[in-house]
Structure 1
Amino acid sequence: MPREELQTASDTLRQAAEHVDEETQKRLHEQSEQLATLAVRDADPDHGRLDRHMNALYELAGDLDGEAEELVRDARNSVKEYRKTVPGV
């Protein structure tokens, strides 16, 4: 069963990539691909992995403005919402 919040985050990052330069597109696509993989793999991602993605998205959003920044923040919030459902820490 796909993890909807992680897939949503991945999709949102793809949208954000339409509004940025090529280098930033690569960074966003990398995060998007990793989140898409986490959304469908058998094992649940752990808090540490999710935290690393959240930190990367925080940094990316800080380098952006306008719609791209808003979309990256939305993606980060989707990861945050999923992380609330992960048992542990």
Structure 2
Amino acid sequence: MAHEQLQRASDELTAAAELAAGDESDRLERQAEQFANLAETGADHGRLARHENALREIKAATDDDVNERIDAAMDAITAYRETIEGV
């Protein structure tokens, strides 16, 4: 099911939050929670784009280990986006 990709994104972001420190860790935890909720309800392209922008900002402020997890989450988001209509 496509929503599994959103749960995978949440799981990757939770792992990233554990590796990150300070503000970035908190932001990643919030993103992980939001993706866990989206895994139940789904999301449209616009909402996903806003999350992707936030993740890019966080990625710019974190190290390689955290970035790998964020990249994995972004891959899951992209896979989900391919299953929804629109843009």
Quick check: TM above 0.5?
A: yes
Give the aligned residue type for 2:51: H
Give the aligned residue type for 1:14: T
Q: CA RMSD in A?
A: 1.4
2-side partners of 1:78 and 1:67: how far apart? 17
What secondary structure is seen at the aligned counterpart in 1 of 2:43? Answer: coil
Number of residue pairs the alignment of both structures matches: 87
Runs of 5+ unmatched residues, structure 2: none
What secondary structure is seen at the aligned counterpart in 1 of 2:47? Answer: helix
TM-score of the pair, normalised by structure 2: 0.90
- Alignment-derived partner of residue 76 in structure 2: 78
Residues 35-87 of structure 1: CA deviation (Å, up to 9, x unaligned): 1100012xx31110011111111111111112111111111111111111111
Give the aligned residue type for 1:7: Q
Alignment of 1:40-51 (within 5 A): 40-41=40-41, 44-51=42-49
Q: Greater helix percent: which structure?
A: 2
What secondary structure is seen at the aligned counterpart in 2 of 1:74? Answer: helix
> Hey, which bits of structure 1, 4+ residues long, moved more than 3 A?
none
Q: Is the 8 A contact 1:5 1:79 kept in 2?
A: yes
TM-score of the pair, normalised by structure 1: 0.89
Alignment of 1:3-82 (within 5 A): 3-41=3-41, 44-82=42-80
